[in-house]
């Protein structure tokens, strides 16, 4: 029988996903904005960039930022550089105020880290896109490909735990995708499938981080 969070020691590291956990990510708005200069629909951008494997290759770290941008520009048939990437990514991101309030309360009790399935281009531009998160997480902001794969590959979660000197069972992963939660659990971490800040606060309180979260 799997022990409940309250039956286990408090975690020594809490890892947060970014998109649709710390912020609301409107991927359809991003695709529409990417396609507009070329007269392409969001669905066509999805086909040319996402279904073609370009986005996945970037997330896996197989494309440098420059190679990724060049591949997107070729797929869209229009120039697409860092300025266009930043603009179209930023308009799809809305920080969650409830999470911005919760994260400092968590970090007052235990170290925290951020782990997102995004390519190296995101790592280069965290400060421009989400300075509020940089203020909360400091250097502990990671793209999964730093660890040689992407979520839900178990080695990614183990790599993050090792980076911060904790065993997998001493870490907690917070993610909105059930498949990523399952991958974290397979790696030995405790995990929570995120829907809202209030439920997360209750989960972390039960895990031993204090009832005042």
Beta bridge partners of 57: none
Note the pLDDT tens digit of each residue in 63-72: 999 999 999 9
pLDDT of residue 27: 98
Say whether 180 sits in a helix, a strand or coil. Answer: helix
pLDDT of residue 2: 47
Say whether 96 sits in a helix, a strand or coil. Answer: coil
Nearest Cα residue to 64 out of 18, 152, 149, 123: 123
Check: CB of residue 84 under 8 Å from CB of residue 91: no
Note the pLDDT tens digit of each residue in 24-82: 999 999 999 999 999 999 999 999 999 999 999 999 999 999 999 999 999 999 999 99
Say whether 31 sits in a helix, a strand or coil. Answer: helix
**Residues of the chain whose pLDDT is less than 50?**
1-3
């Amino acid at each position: 029988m799997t022990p409940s969070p309250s039956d286990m020691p408090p975690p020594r590291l809490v890892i947060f996903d970014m998109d649709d956990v710390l912020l609301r990510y409107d991927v359809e708005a991003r695709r529409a904005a990417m396609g507009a200069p070329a007269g392409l629909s969001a669905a066509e951008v999805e086909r040319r960039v996402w279904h073609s494997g370009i986005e996945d290759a970037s997330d896996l770290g197989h494309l440098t930022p420059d190679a990724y941008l060049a591949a997107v520009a070729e797929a869209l048939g229009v120039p697409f550089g860092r300025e266009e990437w930043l603009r179209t990514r930023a308009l799809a991101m809305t920080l969650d105020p409830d999470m911005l309030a919760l994260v400092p309360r968590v970090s007052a009790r235990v170290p925290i880290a951020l782990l997102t399935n995004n390519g190296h281009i995101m790592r280069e531009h965290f400060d421009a896109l989400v300075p509020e998160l940089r203020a909360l997480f400091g250097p502990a902001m990671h793209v999964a490909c730093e660890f040689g794969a992407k979520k839900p590959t178990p080695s990614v979660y183990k790599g993050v735990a090792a980076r911060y000197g904790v065993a997998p069972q001493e870490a907690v992963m917070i993610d909105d995708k059930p498949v990523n939660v399952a991958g974290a659990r397979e790696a030995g971490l405790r995990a929570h499938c995120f829907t809202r800040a209030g439920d997360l606060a209750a989960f972390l309180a039960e895990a031993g981080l204090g009832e005042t979260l």
